Structure 1
């Protein structure tokens, strides 16, 4: 079974981004369906965003990171109210999708 994990590093602070809400969507029938999510832990990680009852199938998925909420909590203005990362999942593979974040920029990649 495939698994999707993520972590966020706030590069402007040099620390993990704690308590960032993340939503996981699957693209089905020409619309996005919410299938999981959660909030990052003290290490900026969300290791398991779907329950045992959800089986990830081949297809298109999206992670939506609630970055504005995070920076508002720190009293910092941000240019991005949220960050969306869309990717294609192949069956049987695990996906780690990190987010390197600052108030005015971000980058992501497929990690291991």
Structure 2
């Protein structure tokens, strides 16, 4: 009995590890982000973030407005649709000035905007690392 339970547990673990990027559960999201404060060496909580999508006429439509959680993260920005449905240009705007002002710091950047392209059905994680005087971004996982 114990051996059967171990085998079942290992099979479940393997399924979770192998299928984690391919499975699309209802309510899953294609885009996530986070903000890390390099000057504090910690996540940046309660930062307002807006996601916009570029329309065919060049204008930008608001898709989602959220605030980072206690770990500086937002996991639910862009719901998965049919494959390719979210293809296009997007922009994340991080309202950084209020975050640094609350720490008594003056930031050279009142906000940070990151523009990127989504193609296909893969997950996109677009974080920023930031201090009051600089920032960096990359595609994470």
Normalised to the residue count of structure 2, the TM-score between the two structures is 0.73
Rg comparison, structure with higher value: 2
Which residue in the other structure is 1:109 paired with? 138
Which residue in the other structure is 2:54 paired with? 27
Gaps of 5+ in 2: 1-23
Which residue in the other structure is 2:35 paired with? 8
Structure with more helix by fraction: 2
Cα-Cα RMSD: 1.6
Gaps of 5+ in 1: none
SS in 2 for 1:70: helix
Which residue in the other structure is 1:100 paired with? 129
Number of residue equivalences: 110
Normalised to the residue count of structure 1, the TM-score between the two structures is 0.91
- Pairwise CA distance, 1:13: 0.7
- Pairwise CA distance, 1:93: 1.2
